């Protein structure tokens, strides 16, 4: 089905350790992403029973060489020198239709040498959450890992309680993390570290190979990608939940959708993770945390760089500081798009700051606000104005903001800005209560709500009646205030 290669497996242990999946009792296919499989070069699609066997790990996929990846990480600021794939196996890499090398990985496939006493399994809920959220992110053009398949295991997984088990198949540009470099650095083996860095340059940043200092160029490239990624998260209200260094992708993709969620009522200090008691990874903190993670990445690369001493540290520090300018530039572009303004509008930043203040003080839903604003921009009728004002508890204050915005929006308007504004503001996100509804139904054996939600979140600008129904904000009784990791 897929034509596997195994370039990462040529790196020395313990970066990759050959490991077999642990079979499950009775796998059944929940979902298979046929368009993604085609993009990965699958030349045929097997029947559901065969796919269930492959994507559960019960039968080795032809050509695969399963292995667990080693990595370390700062978890909530505390360094753990060995983490690794405790419940995941890299099956191998495929070259997609665009000539890009991509990983295929099982999650929830059983114990590995990095399990640290865990069972190596995943409950069904986190599998469905990651499938829905990652495919929405892909539909929005936000760099992300992808969902290839989900399979029930026919077994129970004990977390807070006994839950149905499942196995998820994830596709990524790679699964190399800041934590992977921290793991290599912790081995105190410069040859190992260099092999990893050279692999990443060849795979993700080949232009860095010709730089005067390839490893400084690598740092610059990773900083730039992370800055763009975090700005795009913020534009849709995404809160990762666990931005540990082991969840920070060197490829600049969103990875490891554990206790993640999308902000509904706007609050810069919003946290959804049940374990983030100190709000370390609150919505507004995400850029600073990403920059902190990148500083930890820079520390691992210092032994490979050409400069020495204080000059080296200063140069690396300067690169890390460029995150702020790159993030701000991307955020400003996104602000202009979301507000329907010209890209060069000097009012984009102050207008967005004003609207965010209005959303916070007026207890407004972020996605609904930008959707309603888009409708008003496309058709500035009294009906659309009133629909927007109905979202706030402070309509007079929002009306004053609208007057200022509309003057700038009209001045900025051209034939393409309306289309750009619509493409920046989704009608629907995977709302937390809808995701939970799908999970709850699946726990009772009904996957119809999951598939219905998947259909609409992968078409985030759909204006259909069903999309509008699933796009509605949660009522007070429906709100989901915490999400949990499946580990």
Check pLDDT > 80 for residue 414.
no
pLDDT > 70: percent of the chain: 97
Contact between 92 and 104 under an 8 Å Cβ cutoff? The reply is yes
Question: pLDDT at position 416, please?
Answer: 76
Which pLDDT band, with edges at 50, 70 and 90, does 474 fall under?
confident
- Tokens coding 434: 């809808």
Summarize the confidence of residues 308-314 as an average pLDDT.
89
Question: pLDDT at position 409, please?
Answer: 79
Question: pLDDT at position 415, please?
Answer: 62
In this structure, of 44-48, 262-266, 317-321, the range with the lowest mean pLDDT score is: 44-48
Summarize the confidence of residues 92-115 as an average pLDDT.
97
Question: pLDDT at position 274, please?
Answer: 80
Question: pLDDT at position 482, please?
Answer: 60
In this structure, of 67-81, 266-280, 281-295, 438-452, the range with the lowest mean pLDDT score is: 266-280
Which pLDDT band, with edges at 50, 70 and 90, does 481 fall under?
low
Which long-range CB contacts under 8 A does 46-50 form with residues at least 24 apart? 46/1
User: Who's near 91: CB < 8 A, 6+ residues apart?
Assistant: 4, 61, 64, 65, 66, 104, 105, 106
Summarize the confidence of residues 63-85 as an average pLDDT.
96
How high is the mean pLDDT of the chain? Answer: 94
Question: pLDDT at position 487, please?
Answer: 47
Contact between 1 and 61 under an 8 Å Cβ cutoff? The reply is yes
Which pLDDT band, with edges at 50, 70 and 90, does 391 fall under?
very high
The count of residues in the chain is: 487
CA 306 to centroid of chain Cα atoms:
33
Question: pLDDT at position 413, please?
Answer: 63
Check pLDDT > 70 for residue 76.
yes
Query: What is the tens place of the pLDDT at every residue in 271-289?
Result: 988 888 889 999 999 999 9
Query: What is the tens place of the pLDDT at every residue in 166-192?
Result: 999 999 999 999 999 999 999 999 999
Summarize the confidence of residues 136-150 as an average pLDDT.
98
pLDDT > 90: percent of the chain: 87
Which pLDDT band, with edges at 50, 70 and 90, does 308 fall under?
confident
Q: What's the whole-model pTM score?
A: 0.96
Can 246 be counted among the known catalytic residues? yes
Q: Catalytic one among 85, 103, 119, 246?
A: 246
Check pLDDT > 70 for residue 411.
no
């Amino acid at each position: 089905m897929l034509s596997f290669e195994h370039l990462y497996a040529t790196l020395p242990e313990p970066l990759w350790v050959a490991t077999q999946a642990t079979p499950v009792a009775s796998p059944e296919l929940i979902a298979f992403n046929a368009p993604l499989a085609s993009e990965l070069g699958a030349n045929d699609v097997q029947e559901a029973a065969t796919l269930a066997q492959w994507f559960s790990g019960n039968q080795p996929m032809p050509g695969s060489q399963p292995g667990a990846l080693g990595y370390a990480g700062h978890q909530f600021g505390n360094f753990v020198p060995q983490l690794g794939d405790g419940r995941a196996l890299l099956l191998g890499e495929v070259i997609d239709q665009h000539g890009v090398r991509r990983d295929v990985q099982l999650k929830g496939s059983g114990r590995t040498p990095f399990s640290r006493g865990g069972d190596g399994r995943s409950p069904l809920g986190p599998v469905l959450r990651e499938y829905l959220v990652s495919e929405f992110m892909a539909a929005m053009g936000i760099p992300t890992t992808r969902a290839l398949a989900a399979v029930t295991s026919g077994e129970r997984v004990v977390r807070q309680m006994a839950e149905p088990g499942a196995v998820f198949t994830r596709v990524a540009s790679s699964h190399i993390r800041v934590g992977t470099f921290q793991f290599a650095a912790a081995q105190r083996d410069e040859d190992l570290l260099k092999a990893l860095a050279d692999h990443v340059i060849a795979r993700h940043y080949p232009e860095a190979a010709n730089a005067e200092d390839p490893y400084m160029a690598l740092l610059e490239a990773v900083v730039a990608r992370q800055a763009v990624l975090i700005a795009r998260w913020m534009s849709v209200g995404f809160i990762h939940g666990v931005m540990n260094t082991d969840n920070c992708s060197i490829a600049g993709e969103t990875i490891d959708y554990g206790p993640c969620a999308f902000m509904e009522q706007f609050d810069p200090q919003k946290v959804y993770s049940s374990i983030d008691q100190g709000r370390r990874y609150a919505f507004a903190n995400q850029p600073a945390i990403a920059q902190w993670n990148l500083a930890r990445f820079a520390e691992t690369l210092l032994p490979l760089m050409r400069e020495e001493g204080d000059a080296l540290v200063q140069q690396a520090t300067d690169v890390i500081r460029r995150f702020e300018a790159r993030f701000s530039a991307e955020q400003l572009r996104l602000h202009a798009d979301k507000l329907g303004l010209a890209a060069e509008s000097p009012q984009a930043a102050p207008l967005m700051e004003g609207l965010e203040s209005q959303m916070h003080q007026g207890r407004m839903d972020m996605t609904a606000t930008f959707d309603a604003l888009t409708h008003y921009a496309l058709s500035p009728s009294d009906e659309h104005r009133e629909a927007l004002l109905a979202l706030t508890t402070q309509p007079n204050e929002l009306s004053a903001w609208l007057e200022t915005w509309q003057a700038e929006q009209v001045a900025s308007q051209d034939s393409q800005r309306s289309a750009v504004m619509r493409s920046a503001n989704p009608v629907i996100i995977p709302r937390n209560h809808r995701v939970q509804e799908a999970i709850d139904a699946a726990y009772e054996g009904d996957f119809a709500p999951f598939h219905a939600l998947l259909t609409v979140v992968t078409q985030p600008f759909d204006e259909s009646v069903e999309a509008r129904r699933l796009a509605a904000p949660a009522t007070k009784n429906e709100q989901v205030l915490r999400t949990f990791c499946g580990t």
